[in-house]
């Protein structure tokens, strides 16, 4: 009796271990889709590239010519506290203001249930930032063009997490443009600042019900650029900072402390 149960326990333990480690992909359970919309705005106004003039908290006028950012490592939390982590390889999204479709992130095979919270990273985690080239597909392909939509520093091996460019009358550059390319994942062999940010957004009274057959819930997030300029990190002045990139670690960190707060939930439909 005793021997039998001992035997059973160890067999179970071995099998469980095997199930956990030997193969890390699990047979999919019934699931549905969940969509997240990243709706970029500037305060009360919708973001329109190259046309509308906005004003930041430092009372500086600006238009936006480009806004691109990485969202990754998405997790969804149910009312009962259980968490669904989107499979790593399917969890990198590049949101571009210039490409409407990119602002809608569809998650497939999400286990059925009522979701009450979303968590994601702004940026690309250090693991993927230092990964083998075979792990850098799709939006993570380092082969893009910096002049166009490149989100990778080829000379300094690292992804740009948030790229904001625009024009302002107070910019000191000859073309009146300002350039904010915020990246830095913590450094490969020498420590740098880490500008990835984890954002957690509870849905409050709202719920995102995922089911295999029902309507796909769409979580509508509002992304307010004014908060990138003004937040807990800094009150960013375009006149004082016409360009912030990899070599201004402290300033880029302040901006990262701002952009972690620019996401809020608006509604779910």
Partner 1 sequence: MKWQKYAACILPVCIVSVWLACSPKTAEEEVTPDKEGTTPIEWKKPAHFPDPVYDISKNPLTEEGVELGRFLFYDGILSRTNQIGCGTCHQQQAAFTHHGHELSHGVDDLLGIRNSPAVQNVAWQTSFFWDGGVHDLDLLPFNPIQNPVEMDTNVPDIIAKLKNTPDPKSKIPVNYPKMFKEAFGTDEINSERIMKALSQFMMTMVSASSKYDFYKLGDANALNAQEKEGMLLFQKNCSTCHQGELFTDQSMRNNGLMPMPGDDKGRFDITGAEQDMYKFKVPSLRNVGYTAPYMHDGRYHTLNEVLDHYTDSVQKLGTLDPLLIRADGRTGLSLTSSEKQSIIAFLRTLSDEQFISNPKLADPGIGNAL
Residue 145 touching partner 1 (CB under 8 A): yes
Burial of 159 (0-12, 13-18, 19+ CB in 10 A): buried
Tell me which DSSP letter residue 194 carries: B
Pick the stretch among 21-29, 73-81, 106-114, 115-123 that binds partner 1 (CB under 8 A).
21-29
Cβ atoms within 10 A of the Cβ of 172, count?
A: 13
> Are the C-beta atoms of residues 185 and 159 closer than 8 Å to each other?
yes
Query: Which of residues 50, 90, 247, 264 is near partner 1 by CB under 8 A?
Result: 247
Residue 11 touching partner 1 (CB under 8 A): yes
Dihedral, CA of residue 235, residue 240, residue 242 and residue 247, to nearest 10: -80
Residue 152 touching partner 1 (CB under 8 A): yes
Cα–Cα distance for residue pair 89/124, rounded to 1 Å: 12
Residue 44 touching partner 1 (CB under 8 A): no
Measured from the CB of residue 103, what is the shortest distance to partner 1 in angstroms?
A: 22
Residue 130 touching partner 1 (CB under 8 A): yes
Q: Please, which residue, 101 or 147, has the CB nearer to partner 1?
A: 147
Coil vs helix vs strand at 165: strand
Query: Which of residues 116, 136, 163, 197 is near partner 1 by CB under 8 A?
Result: 136
Residue 21 touching partner 1 (CB under 8 A): no
Measured from the CB of residue 89, what is the shortest distance to partner 1 in angstroms?
A: 9
Are β-strands 218-224 and 31-42 bridged in parallel, bridged antiparallel, or unpaired? parallel
Q: Please, which residue, 22 or 205, has the CB nearer to partner 1?
A: 22
Cα–Cα distance for residue pair 206/114, rounded to 1 Å: 10
Buried b (16+ CB within 10 A) or exposed e, 217-231: bbbebebbbbbbbbb
Residue 132 touching partner 1 (CB under 8 A): yes
Tell me which residues touch partner 1 (CB under 8 A).
4-5, 8-9, 11-12, 15-16, 18-19, 22-23, 25-27, 130, 132-134, 136-137, 141-148, 150, 152-157, 187-190, 192, 246-249
């Amino acid at each position: 009796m005793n021997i039998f149960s001992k035997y059973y326990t160890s067999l179970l333990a071995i099998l469980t271990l095997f199930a956990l480690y030997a193969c890390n992909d699990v047979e999919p359970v019934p699931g549905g889709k969940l969509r997240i919309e990243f709706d970029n705005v500037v305060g009360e106004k919708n973001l329109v590239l190259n046309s509308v003039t906005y004003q930041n908290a430092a009372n500086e006028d600006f238009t936006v010519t480009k806004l691109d950012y990485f969202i990754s490592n998405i997790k969804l939390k149910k009312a009962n506290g259980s968490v669904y982590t989107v499979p790593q390889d399917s969890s990198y999204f590049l949101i571009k203001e210039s490409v409407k479709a990119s602002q809608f992130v569809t998650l497939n095979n999400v286990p059925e249930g009522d979701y009450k919270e979303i968590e994601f990273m702004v940026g690309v985690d250090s693991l993927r930032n230092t990964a083998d080239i075979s792990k850098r597909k799709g939006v993570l392909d380092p082969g893009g063009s910096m002049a166009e939509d490149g989100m990778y520093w080829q000379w300094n091996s690292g992804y740009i997490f948030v790229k904001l460019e625009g024009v302002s009358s107070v910019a000191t550059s000859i073309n009146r443009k300002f350039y904010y390319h915020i990246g830095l994942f913590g450094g490969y062999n020498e420590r740098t600042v880490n500008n990835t940010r984890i954002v957690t957004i509870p849905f409050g009274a709202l719920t995102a019900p995922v089911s295999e057959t029902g309507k796909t819930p769409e979580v509508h997030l509002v992304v307010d650029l004014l908060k990138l300029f003004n937040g807990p990190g800094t009150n960013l002045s375009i006149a004082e900072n016409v360009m912030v990139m990899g070599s201004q670690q402290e300033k880029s960190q302040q901006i990262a402390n701002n952009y972690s707060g620019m996401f809020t939930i608006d509604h779910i439909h």
